[in-house]
Structure 1
Amino acid sequence: MTDTRASALAILRTLVGQGDADFHTGQYEAIETLVDHRRRALVVQRTGWGKSAVYFVATLLLRRQGAGPTILVSPLLALMRDQVAAAARAGVRAVSINSSNAHEWTDVLRQLDADEVDVLLVSPERLNNPSFRDEQLPALIARVGLLVVDEAHCISDWGHDFRPDYRRLRELIAQMPAGVPVLATTATANSRVVQDVAEQVGMVATGVDGATVGTMGTAEVVTIRGPLARSSLRLGVLRLPDSRARLAWLLSHLGELPGSGIIYTLTVAAAEDTARLLREAGHAVRAYTGQTDTAEREESEGLLKSNQVKALIATSALGMGFDKPDLGFVLHLGAPSSPVAYYQQVGRAGRATASADVLLLPGAEDEAIWHYFATASMPNQAKALAVIGALEAAGAPLSTPALEARVDLRRTPLELLLKVLDVDGAVHRVKGGWQSTGQPWVYDEERYERIAAARLGEQQAMLEFESTTGCRMEFLQRSLDDDTAVACGRCDNCQGIWYPSDLAEGAAVTAAKSLDRVGVAIEVRAQWPTGMSSLGVAATGKIPLTERAEPGRALARLTDLGWGGPLRDLFATGHADAAAPPAMLAACVRVLAEWGWAERPAAIVGMPSRRHPLLINSVARSLAEVGRLPWLGALDWANGGPTGEPGGNSAYRLSSVWDRFTVGPELASALTPFAGRPLLLIDDLADSRWTLTVAARVLRRHGASAVLPFTLALRS
């Protein structure tokens, strides 16, 4: 045994807490590549193989040789927390810099300066923070001992998680000083992704002193790839007719599933609705989504790891790297958009157990959701050119809110587009916001068409996984180009159906009642958007209390499991305008009956509509009849009515409806007896809420004491 292997083995045994532990095939080869040969390596191994052991062991060995700290780029906070805990077990001093611990950054930087840190975990987004990028990162690069890129499939255009911040890592990799090893790791990469990532891991800057990325050279990359089969997983697919049946199955059988686990959903609303239903039925579960508070997420992770909850009902926010070796099951209510993404999520289960159950319950709505997410992350050429033009015209850095008043893009897609343009070199993030670099930018239409085509291919492969009569694990392995793929002998196609398909008596009724729940709050707008003067709107600061709407209600969100489906059909492109169905009108009545308003509305007013006048009038007249409230008619359009299309960011949406509604003569006459009384305002769909806000302002100025907005649907 070499000295390096003996030292590495001793560290490994401390890390895992087993005196007889030994390396898995490929682990020491990777460590030796990094430590003894100071080369670049790409490790593609299944979840649970021990990729973190490679970089922690390599870090300690390199530190003993006098190397500087390791920079570990890690994509998710949950993964960072697990990695810090695992590092401590191995005697590795690991700290992180991320969005949730800003209060600790000063202390972290002090520890780095004192050489008291072995591993610095940093998110890819943090690498482009101006102060970190310009002030701390150059000094850190100068003395880095090892660079690790975890979940490296994100570097690739072909990876299942399109993240512009990860694409920037190719520049960081290229800036690594000569002799500094680089390690990229992933469990979810097919051959195309492996080749793409390997090319980027091998990039070397050939500018002055290797410090610039003007021209690129390449370094040889050692690729260590193992079989991806997970012998502990028992896969299955259960097709049920609708959301009610899937929830009823959960109510019937969740308690029978082994240990504790994760139930994945495709949307935030589905996660929250499912968690609520299961909690009301007595199950210890929690929702875990991108909208969950950071502290609550961390608490939920701890409860799952200690088996104090049966399951977390999660979106993909609980994905890469979450470490619970004894996770007993993974269920999916709705399928991920590719076998690669599915493999990555089911890989959370059965890492240290002989058996774990993995069951997919696909939904009819899956393909529509896939399409939305597949297109949402792709840059739009016209919007991109508008952003660049706005920054060039400003001549000074603009904040994201300031840009919203110049480009009609909502905050999240605008931030994503800025990151794409930053990676492409067209814009640059600086203190105070964003600025144009002046570099020419060309929309890479061919590239985005290739990515879109690849996404469609992945979606088709997922449908084939659902319907295959062959081995499901073998299908997943072949989807990841694993040449060792053979039948697993455990899945529902190999061994026979292992999961129950019956529904307990009363479960379908309970599920139906939960899905039939009505009433979602419409939050009131209290502040005008910034920069409205540039759009010709004289609205700044807080909206006066005397002109605000009251908190409103919608029947449901379009993304809800229950009424969301019928509402999506109602608002689908091409659906003819018509009166609301009787069942939907009855549900609207229930919303009003459960609305705890401070004062009952005295009359009803409707919104004018080009798309759904019959729909809005049917709701308004029905509520007026049942509630015995006067139906006064609708507001009129002013100045030609709203302009543009619904949606868009706050500044542009407000501009499109500002001064576009008025109280006409007939409505003015009808309103006179109700001066100083509250009004119920009816519309079809609440999205940005600026239409309701402006209409409420008009009615408040015309004498209403309060305006209570009600819509059939809330966008999200």
Structure 2
Amino acid sequence: MNETTTALRTSADTVLCRLVGAAPGAARLREDQWRAVEALVAHGRRTLVVQRTGWGKSAVYFVATALLRERGSGPTVIVSPLLALMRNQVEAAARAGIKARTINSSNTEEWTQIEAEVAAGELDVLLVSPERLNNPDFRDEVLPKLAATTGLLVVDEAHCISDWGHDFRPDYRRLRTMLADLRPGVPVLATTATANSRVTADVAEQLGTGATGADQEGALVLRGTLDRESLSLGVLRLPDAAHRLAWLADHLDTLPGSGIIYTLTVAAAEEITAFLRQRGHPVASYSGKTENAERQAAEADLLANRVKALVATSALGMGFDKPDLGFVVHVGSPASPIAYYQQVGRAGRGVDHAEVLLLPGPEDESIWRYFASLAFPPEEQVRRTLDVLASSDRPLSVPALEPRVDLRRSRLEIMLKVLDVDGAVRRVRGGWTATGQPWAYDTQRYAWVARQRAAEQQAMRDYATTTDCRMEFLRRQLDDEQAAPCGRCDNCAGARFPVEVSAAALDSARAALGRPGVQLDARKMWPTGLEAAGVPLKGRIPAGEQAETGRALGRLSDIGWGNRLRPLFTDGSADQPVPPEAAEAVVQVLADWARGHGGWASGQADAPQRPVGVVGVASRRRGLLVDSLSARIAEVGRIPLLGRVEYADGGNPGGMPRSNSAQRVRALHGAFRLPADLVAALAEAPGPVLVVDDFADTGWTLAVVARMLRKAGATAVFPLVLAVQG
């Protein structure tokens, strides 16, 4: 090490001491941390760091930032995916004397001031969410200035760039534009803790880190061992959802410290949170539906150990930093071992021992299939979107595209972002436009991605059943060449937790999961753009044509009634009469509904009138199920069965798109008719009716049917279904 290098290393270690709050000389960069800092600062190289969670990747870019700023370089731009990470990073930077600010969806009121600080050179670090990269104003006005002045570009959680990765985010690909606009010699650092060899290679290609220039060496890739010596992995195979909840109730207090209980769905997170609170455990729910202020409060409570656990979906993932997190439990298997390793890596970063437990469930497979259905659309749907945009004389928003394109909004938005990066469309003020540039559908790549997803799902099945070392299994899935038996997991060292549960906890869990009833909110507004699709409906649904708030027996995504109802709705399942258990539970839902707040048997002065009859909704796939349920409700409730809303001639709701709202309403419009005897019954004895259907996904079938019944004389329409999707 020459004199210049020695001086740089001393300066780097001095910054590190400030960053971690250590006395001068008391902290020193690890060898690979130093190699990364040296490559960035001394040589301006592009560097890809693939290291386990807790290794200290953030130390690399903060130390490099301080040294580059001392040399007169511009600010560091960090592209980061989650708000939790940004908040932690800003606080960490301040400890090292580095002024950092963030631009994301939660601080819109500060954007103008922050952009002014960037222009004035007052910031050392700017953290940007990937979504901002594709905002037209930011992309066209702010991004070029950033690219011209940036001293270091950092791409955190860089696996998000790769569609091979477990958390692909199209907005990340906008980084190509920024990379192309960087001044020659500006260093780039990409970091991730969860990438196998294929993802690593793809990230390098996406970021251009594999390229060489006349004035720089090839990219430096630093890939370390992924073993986490503090983690003890285990799997508990329990008979059903009630046993899993009971196990948590009995054993949560025996898990070390505080931790995270991951679930696959929002419904499951809410169910488990409610049950554990009922059993006296201090826990909080955390999901994509949690308000931002509640999220921050929940994070703070976990950091301060005021709660035993957050019961969370994947919304709590990358970037949440609690070094003393003592455990991670999964109630349900993620679809990918890479995603699983990323989540369990939250635990044991600053403690000698942390417990990691997987409690797989029968619902996992159907949840995997649902998320797989959100993959990149088939070519004909992509081409249809491009044709619609090309034929429009103005930009089209996503709501304006929906009546013309048969895609769910989430899939449509992701597809547009990919097409934007590929140059086929462009996001502008007011929506999206086609560029006219040639575009090819990469059939081979998308098919390969689908096969890879299937292989990852099989790997998770194998992980749950393997008798070999679990840590070695995960490390091999991430292509860790140093993978070896860990000596700590349940297969290496023996099971550490019993599978038995107490009778009291099991009874309580069964009661909680068996409690039927989910509120079913009615649609109030028609989708945008229906008139362009030939449907003369728009704006707010008139009050006299709306359905009332309804009820469902359960959600297909929950682990209580969802597990019992799911077999009725799987593809290929035979039509059958409503099972007795479900019929009895529906009767209980109806009774609770009638007696509850606002119910017709509540005794309130403004309570609605008791329904005068039951009306079923025709179903080609589950007609026997709906008819038997309608008849059972009419029999038990002693309410006349008025008939059934039938299909109009040529109507085929069973074959209609289950994509976005506009497409659904377009297909439903005119698809039903009211038989003459039903119309006559409503005219003879007008009043509220109870409408019975099997399943509510978008809620538009019920909205359209309710409108017809209200116009025929029903004074109110109360929807009742067996299951809802979300």
Return the match for 1:610 from 598, 603, 620: 620
Among 466, 491, 508, which residue is 2:489 paired with? 491
Distance 2:540 2:205 in 1: 52
- Counterparts of 1:222 and 1:688 in 2: how far apart (Å)? 49
Q: Are the aligned partners of 2:211 and 2:219 in contact in 1 as well (CA < 8 Å)?
A: no
Q: 2:477 aligns with which of 476, 479, 494?
A: 479
Instruction: Tell me by how many angstroms 1:602 deviates.
Output: 2.2
Matched residue SS, 1:80: helix
Kept in 1, the 8 Å contact 2:46–2:209? The answer is: no
Matched, 1:633 2:643: yes
Aligned residue type for 2:723: A
Partner of residue 67 from structure 2, selected from 61, 65, 81: 61
Deviates more, 1:153-162 or 1:305-314: 153-162
Aligned with 2:426: secondary structure? strand
Deviation at 1:642, TM superposition (A): 4.2
Of 128, 134, 143, which aligns to 1:128? 134
The normalised TM-score by structure 1 is 0.96
Aligned residues: 707
Following superposition of structure 1 onto structure 2, how do residues 393-408 of structure 1 map, counting pairs within 5 Å?
393-408=391-406
Q: 1:4 aligns with which of 1, 8, 33?
A: 8
Cα distance in structure 2, aligned partners of 1:25 and 1:307 = 34
Q: Is the 8 A contact 2:367 2:557 kept in 1?
A: no
Distance 2:155 2:667 in 1: 45
- CA displacement 1:601-628 (0-9 Å, x = unmatched): 2221111222222111111111111111
Separation in 2, partners of 1:626, 1:608: 21
Q: Structure 1: how far apart are the matches of 2:100 and 2:248? A: 40
Partner of 1:166: 172
Retained in 1: the 8 A contact 2:210–2:219? no
Cα deviations across residues 151-179 of structure 1 (Å, max 9, x unaligned)? 11122232222221223323322332111
Contact 1:201–1:221 (8 Å) recurs in 2: no
In 1, the alpha carbon distance for the partners of 2:715 and 2:709 equals: 9
Question: For the structure 1 residues 219 and 681, does the alpha-carbon distance in structure 2 shift closer, same or farther, using more than 3 Å as the test?
Answer: farther
Give the gaps of 5 or more residues in structure 2. Answer: 600-606
Kindly indicate whether the alpha-carbon contact (under 8 Å) linking 2:175 and 2:207 is maintained by their aligned counterparts in 1: no
- Higher mean alpha-carbon deviation, 308-317 vs 192-201, is at 192-201
Give the whole-Å Cα distance in 2 for the aligned partners of 1:467 and 1:573: 27
User: Paired residue for 2:692?
Assistant: 682
1:22 is matched with which residue? 28
Moved more, 545-554 or 591-600: 591-600
Shift of 1:563: 1.1
Which of 555, 574, 586 lines up with 1:576 in the alignment? 574
Give the aligned partner of residue 667 of structure 2. Answer: 656
5 Å-filtered alignment, 1:280-679, equals 280-595=278-593, 596=596, 597=599, 598-599=607-608, 600-643=610-653, 644-675=655-686, 677-679=687-689
Match for 2:711: what amino acid? R
CA distance in 2 between partners of 1:664 and 1:471 (Å): 64
Deviations 1:652-687 (A, max 9, x none): 111111233333221122223321x21111111111
* Residues in 2 aligned to 1:310 and 1:137: alpha-carbon distance in whole angstroms: 42
| Distance in 1 (alpha carbons) for counterparts of 2:620 and 2:279 | 44
Please state whether the residue corresponding to 2:536 is helix, strand or coil. coil
Aligned-pair distance for 1:370?
2.2
Provide the rounded CA distance (Å) in 2 between the counterparts of 1:606 and 1:262. 44
Contact 1:556/1:713 (<8 A) preserved: yes
Cα gap change, 1:449/1:142 in structure 2, threshold over 3 Å: closer, same or farther? same
| Separation in structure 1 between the aligned mates of residue 497 and residue 319 of structure 2, nearest angstrom | 27
Distance change (3 Å), C-alpha of 1:701 and 1:202: closer
Separation (CA, whole Å) in 2 of partners of 1:633 and 1:170: 60
Deviations 1:434-468 (A, max 9, x none): 00010122211100111112222222222222222
Partner of 1:213: none
Q: Taking structure 2 as the reference length, what is the TM-score of the superposition?
A: 0.94
2:70 corresponds to 1:70? no
Q: CA deviation at 1:219?
A: 6.0
Instruction: Encode CA deviations 1:99-136: one digit per residue, 9 max, x unaligned.
Output: 22111111111211221111111111110100000001
1:199 and 1:398 map into 2 onto residues whose CA distance is: 32
Q: Which runs of 5+ in 1 are unaligned?
A: 211-215
Structure 1 residue runs of 4 or more that deviate by more than 4 Å after TM superposition? 203-206, 216-219
How much has 1:204 moved relative to structure 2? 9.0
Equivalent residues of 1:204, 1:219 under 8 A apart = no
Q: Tell me, yes or no, if the aligned pair for 2:263 and 2:332 is still in contact at 8 Å.
A: yes
Q: Distance in 2 between matches of 1:375 and 1:576?
A: 22
Find the counterpart in structure 2 of residue 696 from structure 1: 706
One-letter code of the match for 1:635?
Answer: V
Verify the 8 A CA contact 1:236 1:359 in the aligned structure 2.
yes
Q: Does 1:265 align with 2:263?
A: yes
> SS of the counterpart of 2:43?
coil
Alpha-carbon separation, structure 1, partners of 2:210 and 2:387: 33
Q: Which amino acid aligns with 1:269?
A: A
Q: Distance in 1 between matches of 2:200 and 2:650?
A: 56
Deviation at 1:279, TM superposition (A): 1.3
2:719 is aligned to: 709
In structure 2, the CA distance between the partners of 1:651 and 1:219, relative to structure 1 (3 Å rule), is farther
- Give the aligned partner of residue 206 of structure 2: 200
Deviation at 1:217, TM superposition (A): 12
The change in CA–CA distance for 1:146 and 1:683 in structure 2 (over 3 A counts) is same
Listed one character per residue, the Cα deviations across residues 261-317 of structure 1 (whole Å, up to 9, x for unaligned) are 001111121111111111111111111111211221111111111111111111111
Cα shift at 1:636? 3.0
> Which residue, 106, 112, 124 being the options, matches 1:106?
112
Matched residue SS, 2:227: coil
Partner SS state of residue 707, structure 1: strand
Report the 3-state secondary structure (helix = DSSP H, G, I; strand = E; otherwise coil) of the residue aligned with 1:605.
strand
- Alpha-carbon separation, structure 2, partners of 1:95 and 1:460: 42
3-state secondary structure, aligned to 1:575: coil
Matches within 5 A, 1:81-96: 81-96=87-102
- What SS does the aligned partner of 1:23 have? coil
Range that drifts further, 165-174 or 604-613: 165-174
SS of aligned partner of 2:503? coil
Query: Which deviations, in whole Å up to 9, do the C-alpha atoms of 1:460-489 show, x marking residues without a partner?
Result: 222222222222112222222222222222
Q: Secondary structure at the match of 1:635?
A: strand
Distance 1:205 1:253, change over 3 A: closer
CA RMSD of aligned residues (A): 1.8
Code of the residue aligned with 2:102 in structure 1: it is S
> In 1, Cα distance between the equivalents of 2:695 and 2:58?
48
**Residue of structure 1 in register with 2:602 after alignment:** none
Moved more, 318-327 or 158-167: 158-167
Aligned to 1:279: 277
Give the alignment partner of residue 142 of structure 1, picking from 135, 143, 148.
148
Q: Secondary structure at the match of 1:553?
A: strand
Question: Cα deviations across residues 222-242 of structure 1 (Å, max 9, x unaligned)?
Answer: 111221111111111111122
SS at match of 2:262: strand
CA positional deviation for 1:137: 0.6
Query: Are 2:43 and 1:45 equivalent residues in the alignment?
Result: no
How far did residue 398 of structure 1 move? 0.5
State the one-letter code of the partner of 1:449: A
Partner residue of 1:221?
A: 219
Aligned CA distance change for structure 1 residues 664 and 375 (closer, same or farther; 3 Å): closer
